[in-house]
Amino acid sequence: MRLSRIWRLIRRVLFVYVPLILVLILLLLPLYWMLITSFKGDVEIYSYSNQAPLIVKAPTLINYQWLFTKIPFARFLLNSALVALVTTAFSLVVSILTGYAIAHLRFSGAAVIGILIFITYLIPRTLLFIPVTVVTQQLGAYGKLGSLVLVYPTFVIPFCTWLLSGYFKTLPLEPEECAMVDGCSRIGAIIRITLPLAVPGILTAGIFGFTLAWNELLYAIVLVNGEMNRTLPVGIVNSLINRDTYLWGPLMAGATLGSIPVALFYFFFMDLYVGGLTAGAVKG
């Protein structure tokens, strides 16, 4: 009995914990490298005789200081936050209404409409940025930060709608119907009953939409002009990369600061995010 227990422990370590640790190291190593590089000076970064490249020997904040003194990094952060928040808020409103209609309102073609909405998300953005540019020019928004607020929902809404429609299908209709029997309107029942129950799914869609808008690069390069209108990804690329010259210290510092907002969202809402994503994907 004791020998079999030891054998089970050995198998668990070899086939569960060791693979998990290897995968964890593989996933976290680039993030760790980015973090420690942001605290290294140029001498330490470019030292080829460094015997311990995974350790910071002389930590410094010069790279972070460089970001806020040499380039308008704070403005890049503000632009990205503004675009991401507005895009997420608008996309959530549309996705909640559309997802609820597909999941709970009975009308012909609901399933087909849901599939077609999701298919629009799968269209590569590299095929669309030229017609999107023409449309923004015709609307008079080309070159302005507002053009991103117009364009980003076109790929955030389809996925959020698909996800929320799947999550709404997991919610029971009985509480909402009981509220309507007691005299509550459908809108009132949705606001008082359905939406509180759908908080994990809504939060999941919101985190996804914010992440997508925060990290988007192609449209932000094509549609926006002027240094003060740049979002964070575009500002970092244009300001810290000059042809084949890379300012690795400030570049890693900027990437570290740019990762913090999204990392905080995932850290504080991980359980709700995983639950909402799993339920929406399974039922969708």
Q: Could you report the per-residue pLDDT of 228-268, keeping only the tens digit for each?
A: 899 999 999 888 888 778 889 999 999 999 998 888 877 77
Q: Are 32 and 54 in contact (CB under 8 A)?
A: yes
User: What does the pLDDT read at residue 89?
Assistant: 95
Q: 116 pLDDT exceeds 90?
A: no
At 242, give phi and psi (nearest 5°): -125, 95
β-sheet bridge partners, residue 241: 246
Q: What's the distance, CA 75 to chain centroid? A: 20
User: What does the pLDDT read at residue 266?
Assistant: 78
Could you give the 3-state DSSP secondary structure of residue 4? helix
Q: Which residues contact 34 (CB under 8 A, 6 or more apart)?
A: 252, 255, 256, 259
Q: pLDDT tens across 170-194, in order?
A: 888 888 888 888 778 888 888 888 8
Average pLDDT over residues 108-120: 79
Structure tokens that stand for 99 in this block = 């997802």
Better-predicted residue by pLDDT, 111 or 95? 95
Q: Computed from CA positions of residues 188, 190, 195, 196, in that sequence, does the dihedral angle turn out positive or negative? A: positive
Whole-number Å distance between alpha carbons of 93 and 191: 12
Highest mean pLDDT: which of 42-46, 51-55, 95-99? 95-99
How many residues make up the chain in this entry? 284
Average pLDDT over residues 127-156: 90
Q: 270 pLDDT exceeds 80?
A: no
Average pLDDT over residues 77-84: 94
Residue percentage of the chain with pLDDT more than 70? 93
Q: What is the mean pLDDT of the chain?
A: 85
Q: Which residues contact 1 (CB under 8 A, 6 or more apart)?
A: none
Whole-number Å distance between alpha carbons of 121 and 124: 8
Q: Which domains does the chain have, with CATH numbers?
A: 2-60 (no CATH), 64-283 (1.10.3720.10)
Residue percentage of the chain with pLDDT more than 90? 33
Q: 125 pLDDT exceeds 90?
A: no
228 DSSP 8-state letter? G
Structure tokens that stand for 33 in this block = 């490298």
Whole-number Å distance between alpha carbons of 184 and 70: 58
Alpha helices in 13-109 (DSSP H): 18-38, 42-45, 62-70, 73-104
User: What does the pLDDT read at residue 281?
Assistant: 44
User: What does the pLDDT read at residue 65?
Assistant: 93
Task: Note the pTM of the prediction, 2 decimals.
Answer: 0.84
